[in-house]
Structure 1
Amino acid sequence: MLAVSAPKPARRRGPASDVTRLLPRPLLVAVIAVLLTVVLGPVLYMVFSSVNSDVSVASGAFFPTELHLDNYLKVWSTVDLGTGLMNSVIICSGVAVVCAFLAVATAYVLVRYEFRGRLTFLRGLLGLQSIPGTLMLLPVFVLFSSIATALGVQIIGTRTAVFITYLTFALPFSTWVMVTYLRGLPKALEEAARIDGASSWRILTQIVIPLSWPGIVVSGIFAFLLGWNDVLFASVLTNPETRTAAVALQVFAASQEGGAVPIYGQMMAASLICAVPVVVLYLVFQRYLIGGLTSGGVK
């Protein structure tokens, strides 16, 4: 009698095998190489230019002909970079923390409670994202000027003006991110806590927030980057004492126009210094970012 062997279970293909199946390996390597070149090319150019001489950079040299590591020291006296970085960290960190926790509280109400106007509010969050920030510059400036005239409190030129502006623009998107995330959390835990007599505030602080850290980190980092990269509003709503790092770089670059040879080395060094906090932020919260961005993708 012939022995019949049991059929082997089929191997499940993962995402990596699917990509390999769709693209031949040589083509996949070529695509990855092109993407890395496009992404890392400008970064490497900035790194090499930051330690190169200004004349060499102006002549188009990619690799440094001689090392000028002192560019990273001179930039602190040439540009008011220390004050700009301090203002950016204070404003953007405050916006990230406040925006993240306001977003999770607002999203919890929108997801777990039924009330009139709920869907209209959710649609409004998406609609606010389609309004260009450039159109809001003049209304925001007029609003702050009117408040200063009516109350006698100067707002323009302070960190408070920039903080309120960034918080207003970041909160709708952060709230929508948290709405999407909270929809994936099981209601059983909240119902069990409510049976045990927990209030809504206790459920929010002791159950929802601890389970929502990936979404909170995503919304907070978005709010942080919105303020860190902004130049338009910060250049109008700040003064030399409260200007952010992005505005300090803009002023520094504008002051070099019309000169014989701009100090490209210090400009690139200052740009890399301003990019360090964002890179560190991504590295520290990378695990939460991946979990927050992929939540809700698989049901």
Structure 2
Amino acid sequence: MIVTVVLVLMVLVPTAYIVLASLNTDIGVAEGEFWPSSFTLDSYSKIWTTADLGNGLVNSLIVCAFTAVASALLGTITAYVLVRYTFTGRLTILRGLVGLQSIPGTLMLLPVFVLFSSAGNYLGITMVGTRWGLFLAYLTFALPFSTWVMVTYLRGLPRELEEAGRVDGASTLRILFRIIMPLSLPAIVVSAIFAFLLGWNDVLFANVLTRPETHTAAVALSIFGVTQEGGALPVYSQVMAAALVTAAPVVILYLVFQRYLVGGLTAGGVK
């Protein structure tokens, strides 16, 4: 019980400080006030002009939403083939999905950048600095995880449901989209949310593969924080407000899909 309370406090205390600091003035935060002497929402109105947060949020939502949907859809289809069919190289692919999770993303930054730059030079396709180039980069890392999540879940679905569908004359695609996917909704939501978070929290790839017009919210927030260092009056309150605004979509996402997350994460744990 004591350990639980300590762990909860380790999370709540910094969060409470961020919220209170965002409601304080920049001068108050700079002076070390934990509890604001006067509450104000000025920081929430200023961040839209001092930081390029609006454009960053739009870019993040577009890229991360497409990554989440594509990885969940492709991961489900790939997992269905790996679970329900036997072919040469199947075990190698399954083992490769696990092995890919152990490769740090930082090691892939330079190869991905060189590959995308080469595509622009040799194929005439502009990828560096575009939203869809960043989307492909995120999909590369999100798809193996999404596929493995779906493989674990689909192994627990009874084959009798598919056999009943085939008896009724349903094709493979009809079974996949009308039977498998509705039953796998909790796992699909889990894989989609984790893919969404992969892109939303990323700063490294987004900083290298984008330009100012396509910067994501994480990059805009990091740039805003760095530019305030060494200033006459650090705008700490605005930085805290920008951090909360950036975190809000993820919190809302968790609250909306909470029941699916619980079911998807615990599925396959008991056989």
Shared fold by TM > 0.5? yes
- Give the match for residue 262 of structure 1: 234
1:137 and 2:109 matched: yes
SS of 1:175's equivalent?
A: helix
1:269-280 to 2 correspondence within 5 Å? 269-280=241-252
Q: Work out which of the two has the higher radius of gyration on C-alpha atoms and give 1 or 2.
A: 1
Displacement of 1:59 in angstroms is 2.9
- Give the match for residue 40 of structure 1: 12
State how far apart, in whole Å, the 1-side matches of 2:93 and 2:190 are. 21
State how far apart, in whole Å, the 2-side matches of 1:128 and 1:101 are. 19
1:30-179 to 2 correspondence within 5 Å? 30-179=2-151
Question: What is the percentage of aligned positions where both structures have the same residue?
Answer: 66
State how far apart, in whole Å, the 2-side matches of 1:103 and 1:152 are. 29
- Give the match for residue 20 of structure 1: none
Post-superposition CA distance 1:57-82 (Å, at most 9, x none): 22332111222211100111111111
Residue identity matched to 1:256:
Q
Query: Unaligned regions of 5+ residues in structure 2, if any?
Result: none
State how far apart, in whole Å, the 2-side matches of 1:161 and 1:191 are. 41
Residue identity matched to 1:232:
L
State how far apart, in whole Å, the 1-side matches of 2:66 and 2:208 are. 20
Displacement of 1:53 in angstroms is 2.0
The answer on whether the counterparts of 2:79 and 2:148 sit within 8 Å (CA) in structure 1 is: yes
The answer on whether the counterparts of 2:25 and 2:43 sit within 8 Å (CA) in structure 1 is: no
| TM-score of the aligned structures, taking structure 1 as reference length | 0.89
SS of 1:241's equivalent?
A: helix
Residues paired across the two proteins, number: 271
- Give the match for residue 262 of structure 2: 290
Post-superposition CA distance 1:65-110 (Å, at most 9, x none): 2222111001111111110000000000000001101000000000
State how far apart, in whole Å, the 2-side matches of 1:70 and 1:139 are. 43
Post-superposition CA distance 1:251-286 (Å, at most 9, x none): 101111221221001000000000110000000000
Alpha-carbon RMSD across the aligned residues, in angstroms, is 0.9
Query: Unaligned regions of 5+ residues in structure 1, if any?
Result: 1-27
Residue identity matched to 2:124:
G
